[in-house]
């Protein structure tokens, strides 16, 4: 586009060139302003990774933040129930977003059902999470859980996560923005969460992979203190290396940023076909 416009900018076409550039800029700005993105996470509304994501996405549309007031990692799709308290978060004299006293799913629902009541959101982006959500760990993730809640409510969603250190966050945010731009241009897939995970260090590329094995194992609970009423334990965990080269976990552990499409449907269709042979009846 830039080359074709430049070729028109001869001495005889200055006015035309100016008007064309103005029209292109106006159209692009209007298109972006008409696209609404709800951003949430599970690390809490004060997370600097959430702020980095917001900054990147603001170039693509109107961004509204509704996130847990405090860290709610590992919440999956849990809900607190009962009444909901929400705090307006102000930064540099401007409204940054809303901190929900609750889980990521609570924050997501508040965003879609309250902040988007009169002007619905086109997309939800959950993240950037401080820690990977590849493989079976995704089931426990509040980042993925919030995105799944969006899909449950009929809004397309992206979940974005990265390693806890040694990551260029601009790369993570940039990958998320690429997916958003594709959605804007071609539409978003229905009922799907696209999960992005970026590891630390020098990256080899982007790998499209299915959900694989878990990279975290819970070892045991070690007793560290005890009173007559209270027992306190320390949980031990270990990191496992994936042996399945076809999985997202393996690709992530081998320096690839991964992209995995996820659905709400957990049905085991192979067993579903066999269950009639069990001849189950009401007692």
Q: 24: alpha, beta or left, given left = phi > 0 and alpha = psi -120 to 50?
A: alpha
Which are the contacts of 5, defined by CB distance < 8 A and separation ≥ 6? 17, 20, 21, 24
DSSP H helices, the chain, are: 2-8, 14-33, 48-57, 104-110, 142-152, 169-186, 248-253, 269-274
Strand intervals (E) in 180-274: 193-198, 205-208, 216-226, 231-239, 256-262
DSSP for 97-165 reads EEEESS-HHHHHHHIIIIITSSS--SEEEEEEEES---GGGGGT-HHHHHHHHHHHTT--EEEEEE-SS
CB atoms within 10 A of CB 6: 10
Query: CA 68, CA 251: separation in Å to the nearest integer?
Result: 30
What does the longest C-alpha to C-alpha distance in the chain come to?
Answer: 91
Domains of the chain, start order? 34-278 (3.40.1210.10)
pLDDT for the residue numbered 23: 41
pLDDT for the residue numbered 166: 96
Question: Considering the entire predicted model, what is its pTM?
Answer: 0.85
pLDDT for the residue numbered 32: 57
Q: What are phi and psi of 202, to 5 degrees?
A: -75, 130
Full pLDDT tens readout for the chain, 283 residues: 444 444 444 444 444 444 444 444 433 444 456 899 999 999 999 999 999 999 999 999 999 999 999 999 989 998 888 899 999 999 999 999 999 999 999 999 999 999 999 999 999 999 999 999 999 999 999 999 999 999 999 999 999 999 999 999 999 999 999 999 999 999 999 999 999 999 999 999 999 999 998 887 777 899 999 999 999 999 887 788 998 999 999 999 999 999 999 999 999 999 999 999 999 999 9
**Token reading at 13:** 């076409």
Query: CA 215, CA 274: separation in Å to the nearest integer?
Result: 31
Query: CA 38, CA 111: separation in Å to the nearest integer?
Result: 7
């Amino acid at each position: 586009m830039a080359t074709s416009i430049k070729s028109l900018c001869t001495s005889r076409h200055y006015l035309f060139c100016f008007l064309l550039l103005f029209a292109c800029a106006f159209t692009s700005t209007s298109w972006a302003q008409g696209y609404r993105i709800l951003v949430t996470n599970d690390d809490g509304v004060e997370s600097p990774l959430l702020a980095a994501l917001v900054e990147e996405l603001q170039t693509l549309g109107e961004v509204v933040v509704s996130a847990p007031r405090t860290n709610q990692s590992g919440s999956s799709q849990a809900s607190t129930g009962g009444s909901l308290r929400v705090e307006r978060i102000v930064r540099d004299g401007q409204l940054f977003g809303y901190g929900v006293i609750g889980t990521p799913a609570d924050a997501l629902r508040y965003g879609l059902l309250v902040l988007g009541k009169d002007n619905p959101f086109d997309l939800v982006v959950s993240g950037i999470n401080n820690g990977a959500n590849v493989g079976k760990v995704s089931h426990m993730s509040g980042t993925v859980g919030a995105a799944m809640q969006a899909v449950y409510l009929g809004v397309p969603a992206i979940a974005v996560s990265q390693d806890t250190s040694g990551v260029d966050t601009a790369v993570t945010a940039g990958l998320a923005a690429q997916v958003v731009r594709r959605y804007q241009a071609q539409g978003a897939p229905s009922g799907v969460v696209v999960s992005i995970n970026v590891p630390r260090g020098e990256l080899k590329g982007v790998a499209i992979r299915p959900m694989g094995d878990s990279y975290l194992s819970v070892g045991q609970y070690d007793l560290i203190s005890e009173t007559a009423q209270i027992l306190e334990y320390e949980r031990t965990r270990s990191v496992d290396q994936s042996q399945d080269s076809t999985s997202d976990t393996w690709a992530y552990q081998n320096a690839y940023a991964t992209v995995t499409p996820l659905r709400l449907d957990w049905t085991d269709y192979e067993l579903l076909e066999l269950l009639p042979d069990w001849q189950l009846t009401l007692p």
